[in-house]
Amino acid sequence: MKNIVIKFLALFMLLAFANTTAGASEHEAVAKASTHKEETYVSKPFSEMIMGFLKDTGVVALVNPDPNELSANGEHMSSFHQGLGRVIMILITFFLFWLAIAKGFEPLLLLPIAFGGFLANIPVANIAGAHGFLGVIYNMGLSNEMFPIIIFMGVGAMTDFGPLLSNPKTALLGGAAQFGIFGTLVGAVALSHYGFVDFTLQQASAISIIGGADGPTSIFIATKLAPELLGAIAVASYSYMAMVPIIQPPIMKALTTDAERKIKMTTLRHVTRLEKLVFPILVLSLAIMVLPESTPLIGAFMFGNFLKESGVVERLNDTLQNALINITTIFLGLGVGSKLAADQFLVPDTMFIMILGIIAFSVGTAAGVLMAKLMNLFPGHKINPLIGSAGVSAVPMAARVSNKVGMEYDRTNMLLMHAMGPNVAGVIGSAVAAGVLISLFQ
Amino acid sequence: METNLVMEGVKFMFLGMGTVFAFLIIMIMAINLMSYIIHRFFPEPKAADIAVNTANEQQDKNKIVAAITAAIAHHRQG
């Protein structure tokens, strides 16, 4: 009995001790917290709290901006770019939403870009700054050119080189369309030479690559040569790519005769699996020998295509074509959108970039069509010049446009597969052109 | 030093278009060579082989039909 009592007492004391120590530590914690609070928090009258809160609202920040607020680049902004400019940019992003949703203009990229632009123009929150999430995304994969490369892998996995392999000479059309890039480059430097704008040679090159009609390549070059123009270049590139069905047909019709538009092309021969498997390795080897500067883009592209054609890594192929490219598209779009901040986009340069971009597109289209007409002067199978316009990349939209215009004149003339040849050659061509531009500035 | 930017641009244009065309022409020749080699030395199974296979399959089918007919006949007898 005595034993039990002693045990009970001992247990009781143990519990009591534990309780007091726990209580003590709790007290200490509370004390610490209160002293911590006392350092930062000063009791204020309620009216003052409301006033302070109201001063922090977005409305005040837009109407009466803080002159000390820094842009995402850590520079001072004019009050126009802090106030009205942001409102204008947000309205522009609403316009882009409308284009993407109601008009179906490249919604996969335009929506993330536009929403990124919407977020980047929020005052105070500084989402596009180095520590905001858009800034983090930008630094994660855009400033180091990672995302465009991953997109290129996915595009490679989606590309079928069969039409090109069965009629290789149509690759020349894809080369001619790159004249859009270099012709515009001359135009851009001429503009700055005669004092309309102040573009450096690097900036002019980055702008003219819009003529390659290839989104990832444009972004790749812009981040390398002129990161300050990235937002305008990407928006111009993707919005013109979306407008291919509007921009191209008038040019194609103006440069061809009725008889030319009705040319029927011979059926494509069968391409064996081994040819398709060897092709990516072949092109990459050529790129290594001729122009190593172009191998980041061509290498990623051919990696994706090789996985697809190998036929033994269906899981990886599927991931490249779907999951990976979708995830990267989201990040790429938001990252590009972060460059739509008013202080970087609402500048006179943007207008010139938009104008030069559409000139680049039109010149590329025209050059492709004219090249097809030139090739028809030589003996051999005749080429329908309408597929020349597909030489600007914009896969597969440009090829579909060729097909559609061809069928307007002859219901039975299916040009789609013929146009895919120059179309994919255009991707290779713009990657080579990008490599040339990079190597020139090394 | 005042460099003539327009002249620079024209130089870029010739160099760039030259490289793009040179690359694509080499690529076209390489594709043609590759196709020739592959068709010459590694042809895909020819249509005749496939025809033989289908003929074999037809024979197999006939055998199966014969077996089933025999089984049915046997069943009816029994």
CB pairs under 8 A between A and B: 114
Q: How far is it, in rounded angstroms, from Cα A316 to Cα A322?
A: 10
How does DSSP classify residue A388? Answer: G
State residue B1's pLDDT score. Answer: 45
> Among A39-48, A198-207, A266-275, B68-77, where is mean pLDDT lowest?
A39-48
Nearest to A171 by CA among A372, A354, A422: A422
Q: How far is it, in rounded angstroms, from Cα A209 to Cα A217?
A: 8
Check residues A89 and A81 and name the one with the higher pLDDT: A89
Q: Residue A121's Cα: distance from chain center in Å?
A: 19
Q: Using omega within 30 degrees of 0 as the cis cutoff, is the peptide bond preceding A396 cis? A: yes
Check residues B51 and A408 and name the one with the higher pLDDT: A408
Interface contact flag, B9 A287, Cβ < 8 Å: no
Interface contact flag, A172 B25, Cβ < 8 Å: yes
- What value of ipTM does the predicted structure carry? 0.82
Name the residue with tokens 């007091």: A20
Is the pLDDT at A35 greater than 70? The verdict is no
Tens digit of each residue's pLDDT (9 = 90 or more) over A300-343: 999 999 999 999 999 999 999 999 999 999 999 999 999 899 98
Interface contact flag, B30 A188, Cβ < 8 Å: no
Is the pLDDT at A419 greater than 70? The verdict is yes
Interface contact flag, A291 B31, Cβ < 8 Å: no
HSE (CB half, 13 Å, CA atoms) of A271?
A: 21
* Chain B stretch 18-37, residues whose beta carbon is closer than 8 A to a beta carbon of chain A: 19-28, 30-32, 34-35
Is the pLDDT at A24 greater than 60? The verdict is no
How does DSSP classify residue A378? Answer: S
State residue A12's pLDDT score. Answer: 59
Confidence band of A380 (pLDDT split at 50, 70, 90): confident
- State the average pLDDT over residues A346-367: 92
Using a CB-CB distance cutoff of 8 angstroms, which residues of chain A are in contact with residue B39?
272
Residue A225 parent element (H or E): helix A215-225
HSE (CB half, 13 Å, CA atoms) of A85?
A: 19
Is the pLDDT at A29 greater than 60? The verdict is no
The alpha helices in B1-78, defined as continuous H runs, are 5-41, 47-77
Using a CB-CB distance cutoff of 8 angstroms, which residues of chain B are in contact with residue A185?
9, 12-13, 16
Interface contact flag, A193 B4, Cβ < 8 Å: yes
Interface contact flag, A287 B13, Cβ < 8 Å: no
Check residues A274 and A13 and name the one with the higher pLDDT: A274
Confidence band of A1 (pLDDT split at 50, 70, 90): low
Answer for the pair A358, A240: CB distance below 8 angstroms, yes or no.
yes
Nearest to B28 among A171, A179, A274 (CB): A171
Asked if B47 has any chain A CB less than 8 Å from its own CB, the reply is: no
Tens digit of each residue's pLDDT (9 = 90 or more) over B9-42: 899 999 999 999 999 999 999 999 999 999 999 8
